[in-house]
Amino acid sequence: MSADSNTKKSPLDILKWILAIAFLAAAVVGNYMYANEPLLYRVLGVVFLMLVGAGIALTSSQGKAFLQLLKEANIERRKVVWPTRQETTQTTMIVVVVVILMSLVLWGVDSLLSWLISLLLG
């Protein structure tokens, strides 16, 4: 966690979050109030209001910290070494063989226990 994410909330940040929530509420209420309007207009209105609200929220200190987190996560994602097709196929085959073997072992143990219980109960 970086030191930037521990910044104090300023009154401007609180105002930004209130505005972002107001735009979200306007999208929900507007979609409900204009239920008789064509779907395309409602969808465009909701998308527009949500984008404006998200844009306002991302300009706050918490929003900026979130964007920094996304950038760092993308850098880490690029560092991931993905397996080749051959490695994936081999690993899948190993898993399938182990599952089949374990199912046979468990079937055998279950059959043995069933046979022993039937001997004891007559």
Q: What is the 3-state secondary structure (H, E, C) of 34-59?
A: CCCCCHHHHHHHHHHHHHHHHHHHHC
Share of the chain above pLDDT 90, in %: 87
DSSP designation for 60: S
Domain ranges of the chain: 1-80, 83-122
Q: Which helix (H) or strand (E) holds 66?
A: helix 61-79
pLDDT confidence of residue 9: 72
pTM for this model (two decimals) = 0.56
The pLDDT averaged over each successive group of 10 residues in the chain (122 residues) is 57 91 94 92 94 94 94 94 95 98 98 94 84
CB 19, CB 53: distance < 8 Å: yes
Q: What are phi and psi of 67, to 5 degrees?
A: -65, -40
pLDDT confidence of residue 62: 92
pLDDT confidence of residue 88: 97
pLDDT confidence of residue 83: 93
Other residues' Cβ atoms within 10 Å of the Cβ of residue 92: 10
3-state helix, strand, coil in the chain (%, to 5): 85, 0, 15
How far apart CA 47 and CA 41 sit, in angstroms, is 10
